Amino acid sequence: MRRIVIAGAGMAGGRTAVELRRRGFTGEITMVGAEAHRPYDRPPLSKAVLTGRIDDTTLPFDLDGVEVLTGRRATALRPGTVETDAGPLEHDGLVIATGADPVTLPGDGPVRVLRTIDDAHGLRSALRPGLRLVIVGAGWIGAEVATTAAAIGAEVTVVEAADSPLRAALGPVVGARTIAWYARAGVTLRLGTAVERTTADGLVLAGGEVLPADEILIGIGARPSVGWLAGSGLALERGVVADERLAASWEGVDGPPVVAVGDCAAWWSRRYGRRLRVEHWDTAQQSPSVGAATLLGGDEGDAAVYDPVPYFWSEQFGWMVQFAGMSGVEGDALVWRGDPDAPRPADGSRPVGWSAGWFAPDGHLRGMVTVGRPMDMVAARRLMMAGGGIDPTRFADVAVTMKELVAAG
């Protein structure tokens, strides 16, 4: 293999370049990215960047000897050639790491999204006391931005079509436990509210009501950035179809080896027996090691199989929220660990956090969310990676540490 092209210059693309060199590849590496920036970290955008604590999240990757082409967009793929808006890039190995693009709404209102560092800087400059900010979507991004904007003094309204925040990730029962957080922060939360379009005056809801807004932030999810691959011969289905080693598949075309990493990869999970696509930092951080090994043809057995327990976190309304595994599987039992409705201490301090676990019928812990209980998550992730089970009754007893539960399991 003489030249590898990496399409996508974010965390996943940059880390793959580092992994290729670490594994001994001495040929040419060209990384091409649509943004004007070298690889940077995205999780701080809705947290530290938006609050002004930091301005730059550039990652300290050693990219010496890697040709980094920023501000250059991949537009099409032919076997052996990535077409870009500045000319073709030939290769005999390809990494697809083009990530995902935010979903928007129809209309001509003052709409923003929060996906890039430029988006974060733009929103930060707009936030001010008294700003009428309407956020569409009570997911991770919506909650984090609402937290920051309300603290600044903006008048924040969050509109969510579902019956609870975080419903897609945590389900309606657990998601509902976060509703009170919005009111305490002074944020108006409107659940079960569909949106029709945006206008210059604000957000038009289904039924015709208009919510006046100076700024509208859309946080209703993202779609894999794979439109440029249409007609290429690569298999696509909610992302780039990849096997458990992250190898993509040519359909009726004889092409060079291709791997997909990060948000755009729809890989086969041995653990869950289904295809997964996970848009979170942990995927962009961990999948490049397997992708690089697969592209270089290494035979490392199970070490070259990508089979994680999905994990992500959020900082919202003063809480650290972490989730790992799967939720909402039919037949699983939801078990609480701690009381989400515990009254706040009289001295005004934060109440003790809580966790919740989803247990499969055979007793295995399939998924877990923690709120202000980070040590619960540390032990739970290890348990889920090992595929072990614990006693759900003892799990509900906060007097027993997760570490003790795992050791006894």
- List the Cα angle 385/389/394 in 5-degree steps: 125
Q: Looking up tokens 């925040």, which residue turns up?
A: 165
Q: What is the structure's pLDDT at 328?
A: 84
90 and 233 share one domain: yes
- List the Cα angle 178/166/396 in 5-degree steps: 60
Which of 288, 371, 370 shows the shortest CA–CA distance to 324?
Answer: 370
E strand map for 236-318: 240-242, 258-260, 265-269, 274-276, 311-316
Judge whether 255 lies within some domain: yes
Q: What is the structure's pLDDT at 387?
A: 85
Last residue in a domain, options 280, 304, 328: 304
d(CA 103, CA 221): 6
Domain of 384: which CATH number?
A: 3.30.390.30
Domain of 262: which CATH number?
A: 3.50.50.60
Judge whether 201 lies within some domain: yes
Q: What is the structure's pLDDT at 348?
A: 64
Tokens of 290: 């397997």
326 and 244 share one domain: no
Element (H, E) at 121: helix 117-126
270 and 300 share one domain: yes
Judge whether 312 lies within some domain: no
Q: How far is CA 253 from the centre of its chain?
A: 32
- Domain range spanning residue 148? 104-218
203 and 112 share one domain: yes
Tokens of 188: 């108006």
d(CA 272, CA 282): 17
Q: In what order do the strands lie in the sheet with 215-218?
A: 111-112, 215-218, 132-136, 155-159, 188-190
Q: What is the structure's pLDDT at 260?
A: 98
Total structural domains in the chain? 3
For the chain, percent helix, then strand, then coil, each to nearest 5?
A: 25, 30, 45
Judge whether 310 lies within some domain: no
Last residue in a domain, options 304, 337, 369: 304
Q: What is the structure's pLDDT at 109?
A: 80
326 and 398 share one domain: yes
Q: What is the structure's pLDDT at 225?
A: 97
d(CA 313, CA 166): 12
92 and 129 share one domain: no
213 and 229 share one domain: no
Helices 11-22/281-295 angle, 10° precision? 40
pLDDT along the chain (409 residues), means of 10: 97 98 96 97 94 95 97 97 97 97 91 96 97 97 97 97 96 96 97 96 94 96 96 96 97 93 97 94 96 86 82 94 93 94 70 90 93 93 89 92 85
165 and 271 share one domain: no
111 and 214 share one domain: yes
Judge whether 283 lies within some domain: yes
Alpha carbon distances (Å) from 122 to 45, 49, 202, 279, 383: 11, 11, 19, 23, 41
Judge whether 387 lies within some domain: yes
Q: What is the structure's pLDDT at 389?
A: 84
Mode of pairing for the β-strands spanning 311-316 and 319-325: antiparallel
289 and 376 share one domain: no
Q: What is the structure's pLDDT at 299?
A: 61
Judge whether 313 lies within some domain: no
108 and 214 share one domain: yes
E strand map for 186-242: 188-190, 195-199, 202-205, 210-212, 215-218, 222-224, 240-242
Q: Looking up tokens 């389900």, which residue turns up?
A: 171
Question: In sequence order, which residues have a C-beta less than 8 Å from that of residue 285 and are 6 or more positions away?
Answer: 11, 15
Judge whether 309 lies within some domain: no
Q: What is the structure's pLDDT at 388?
A: 81
* DSSP codes joined into one string, 40-97: B-SGGGGTHHHHTS-S--B-----TT-EEE-S--EEEEETTEEEEBTEEEE-SEEEE-
Count CA within 13 A, CB hemisphere, residue 51: 14
92 and 114 share one domain: no
